[in-house]
Chains A and B, each alone.
Chain A
Amino acid sequence: MNKTGAQIVIDAMLKEDVEVVFGYPGGVVIPIFDVLYDTKEINFILTRHEQAAAHAADGFARATGKTGVCIATSGPGATNIMTGLATAYLDSIPMVAITGQVASPLLGTDAFQEADIVGISRPITKHNFLVKSVDELPKVLKQAFHIANTGRPGPVLVDIPLDVSRGVMENYSYPEEVSLRSYKPNLNGHAKQIEKAAEMISQSKKPVIFAGGGIIHSGADKELKELAEKTNIPVTTTFMGLGGFPGDHPLFIGMPGMHGAKCANFTLQECDLIISVGARFDDRVTGYVQSFAPNASIIHMDIDPAAISKIIKVDVPVVGDAKNILTALNKIIKKRKADSWNDQVNEWKGEKLFSYTDSDSEIKPQAVIEKLYDITKGEALVATEVGQHQMWAAQYFRYLKPRTLISSGGLGTMGFGMPAAMGAAFGNRSLPVVDIAGDGSIQMNIQELATLAINNIPVKVIILNNSYLGMVRQWQQLFFNRRYSSTCLRGGSLCPVCNGPENCTKKYIPDFVKLAESYNVAAFRCDEPAEVENVLRKGLEVDGPAVMEFIVSQEENVYPMVPAGKPLDDILEG
């Protein structure tokens, strides 16, 4: 059968079971959009910015484990998705991005809307392709989907020149198999290494399991729980691993790191063995690397051989898929009874992993999140933006299942949350989806309220409005002598009253309630602690999207805090 390049792109999506695609049109992708026009099996969502399309594809992938797909035009359309690719790359999210490119004869001539997208995206994609001819398009697309969602997942970009999407391939068929001589991810851990790990675990006096996003990517949460329960070893998960182990489990000791639970940090520093599964020892987790877990031996299980011994010297590396490794390990692991080490860890844990001082006169941001947890009983998908609110969302909401926290961990991308929540809502229709946002971050992709409204996507946006770029302001307060340079969203770059926000008479801009209403999105404002629950319930009950704005305590800080470059047990408290 003869097919045009554009038809091949859409046919590949159908063959790969793509249900939803996010994107934005432009000159060189008109042929592809023209085919989409007749393709009822694919739900195409027009965002209001390409960056949002990329984040939405990413959010869909995080919620489902399937590959997210987005489309953008050449030049400015394609450069707009770069932040989305980098975000997905650092968090190992499977994504395929299709970009249009100027016609091949114009390549490299600075043609209208030309940019070297394969060059620009090279360091922030798992792989990328510039398609040279329509005849290689089916193979490239097949490889793109394969590479994105195997091994350590990641974003793959396919750049398609206009003449390729217009060109006709004779005798088209979509390949069934992929063969890449150079790409064969190692999925099964080495049996000898797994035996060694089991042996080390049984010898250890003070073990701790340290699980990361890899648990979620490989769907190894059940195996992780089995390991922990068999051995009674306390479990800490990184920010990316939250939900990979039930947040309300007695063996759960919170996330470690800069804003981690004291208990998790003390446990890591004191333990004699770290059993790391799918975690990459990010510097936000380890604190000062040289003094990280000084007495511990380390077993590191990871699908990516390059992640091993990258930051921390490892004693027993096991390369493979977390689910396979843990299944093998669980078969041979010896049972272990809770002992005095567990008592010690439980003592550190105390009654609550995190605490703050509540108030009757002003809304504490932590209280909003705790209340959200109480109301939903954890049965929700929580997306976040980036800042203090993100850390509070990690601390005060308990994630009971994998894929329920959707947040930019590695890149820390403000503006990620709302579009990602949008994508997640397509992937998970049974749970409510909320985006926990700051007043700064939400303004980075606020135009997507239009997309939410038009498609009636039931995302509930919770804005914790503290009038500040709070996380940066916190650093300025603690380490720059309260010089709030460019962090007040009311006063501009140099706010003379910032050192006494209670005296500030300037209005914040915009009025989020009016703004949301202008987009036809239901909106509520709350500035009374007593009203928090009420407003949350009202927002959650709306049939469709809603914005809930909470005017919160302005100078609240995220604690505990390990200052950057300090050892994990060097903890600041409020």
Chain B
Amino acid sequence: MSTHTISILTENHSGSLSRIAGLFSSRGYNISTLTVAETDDPTMSRMTIVVSGDEEILEQIVKQLNKLIDVVKVIDFNDMPKIERELLLVTVDLNRASRHEVVETANLFNATVAGVTPSSVTFEFSGERERVDDFMTMLKPYGIRDVVRSGAVAI
């Protein structure tokens, strides 16, 4: 088992996403994250998929991805250097006792404050997936109200 970050350049068609996702699901593969958006060329989309699983099956899936008519290019980042980021928005409970520590923790990670209410603060943070995990772990004891992660993008 290993984790792979796969980047897919595809025609910007309505069926492309489910066709691509279908290749993973038909083999019982669970996609851990998937992000997609238009590129600088509006006829193309870029998808970043993070999966973990058996190497040989993954190699097969990459071959099958390359076969899809809509797919223009597939990159498996495991064979090359990459910059990877994930965006996190997290809302944490605030009370007089914890306030200082919470803000301190956020400073340590260089997270920015995206919003505040009298009883909560929402941080915005982006970084490698592991850093996002670490930040979450640090915040957990203060009470996480809500969290949303974008899934990784890589270049």
Residues of A bordering B, CB below 8 Å:
118-119, 122-123, 126-128, 130, 147, 180-183, 304-306, 309-310
**B22 close to A127 (CB less than 8 A):** no
Q: Which of B10-18, B113-121, B127-135, B147-155 touches A?
A: B10-18
Closest to A119 in B: B18
**Across the interface, which residues of B come within 8 angstroms of A122, CB to CB?**
15, 18-19, 22
Nearest 10 A/B pairs, CB to CB? A306-B63, A182-B72, A127-B69, A183-B69, A306-B64, A306-B67, A182-B71, A123-B26, A122-B22, A305-B63
Q: Is B66 an interface residue (CB 8 A)?
A: yes
CB distance from A142 to the nearest CB of B (A): 13
23 CB-based A-B contacts, threshold 8 Å: A118-B15, A119-B18, A122-B18, A122-B19, A122-B22, A126-B69, A127-B68, A130-B14, A130-B15, A147-B69, A180-B69, A181-B72, A182-B10, A182-B11, A182-B69, A182-B71, A182-B73, A304-B67, A305-B66, A305-B67, A306-B63, A306-B64, A306-B66
CB distance from B11 to the nearest CB of A (A): 7
- The answer for the CA separation of A55 and B110 in the assembled complex, in Å, is 63
Within 8 A of A (CB), among B46-66: 59-60, 63-64, 66
CB distance from B2 to the nearest CB of A (A): 18
Q: Is B70 an interface residue (CB 8 A)?
A: yes
Q: DSSP class of B's interface residues: helix, strand, loop or mixed?
A: mixed
Quick one: given A119-B18, A123-B22, A123-B26, are A310 and B60 in contact (CB under 8 Å)?
Answer: yes
**Tally of contact residues, B, Cβ under 8 A:** 20
- The answer for the CA separation of A181 and B60 in the assembled complex, in Å, is 22
- The answer for the CA separation of A156 and B64 in the assembled complex, in Å, is 17
**Across the interface, which residues of A come within 8 angstroms of B73, CB to CB?**
182
Fill in one digit per residue for B65-88: 1 if any A CB lies within 8 Å of its CB, else 0: 011111111000000000000000
**A182 close to B60 (CB less than 8 A):** no
CB distance from A362 to the nearest CB of B (A): 46
**B60 close to A128 (CB less than 8 A):** no
**B70 close to A182 (CB less than 8 A):** yes
Closest to B70 in A: A182
**B15 close to A128 (CB less than 8 A):** yes
- The answer for the CA separation of A471 and B51 in the assembled complex, in Å, is 41
- The answer for the CA separation of A183 and B66 in the assembled complex, in Å, is 9
**Across the interface, which residues of B come within 8 angstroms of A119, CB to CB?**
18
- The answer for the CA separation of A263 and B64 in the assembled complex, in Å, is 35
CB distance from B59 to the nearest CB of A (A): 8
Closest to A313 in B: B56
CB distance from B8 to the nearest CB of A (A): 11
**Across the interface, which residues of A come within 8 angstroms of B26, CB to CB?**
123
CB distance from A430 to the nearest CB of B (A): 36
- The answer for the CA separation of A118 and B26 in the assembled complex, in Å, is 16
CB distance from A372 to the nearest CB of B (A): 40
**Across the interface, which residues of B come within 8 angstroms of A305, CB to CB?**
63, 66-67
**A306 close to B60 (CB less than 8 A):** yes
**Across the interface, which residues of B come within 8 angstroms of A309, CB to CB?**
59
- The answer for the CA separation of A130 and B70 in the assembled complex, in Å, is 14
- The answer for the CA separation of A304 and B66 in the assembled complex, in Å, is 11
Closest to B69 in A: A127
**Across the interface, which residues of A come within 8 angstroms of B70, CB to CB?**
182
CB distance from A81 to the nearest CB of B (A): 19
- Which one of A127, A181, A306 has the greatest number of beta carbons of chain B within 10 Å? A306
Closest to B56 in A: A309
- The answer for the CA separation of A118 and B63 in the assembled complex, in Å, is 22
- The answer for the CA separation of A118 and B19 in the assembled complex, in Å, is 10
Within 8 A of A (CB), among B1-57: 10-11, 14-15, 18-19, 22, 26
**Across the interface, which residues of B come within 8 angstroms of A181, CB to CB?**
72
- The answer for the CA separation of A180 and B43 in the assembled complex, in Å, is 13
**Across the interface, which residues of A come within 8 angstroms of B59, CB to CB?**
309
CB distance from A7 to the nearest CB of B (A): 25
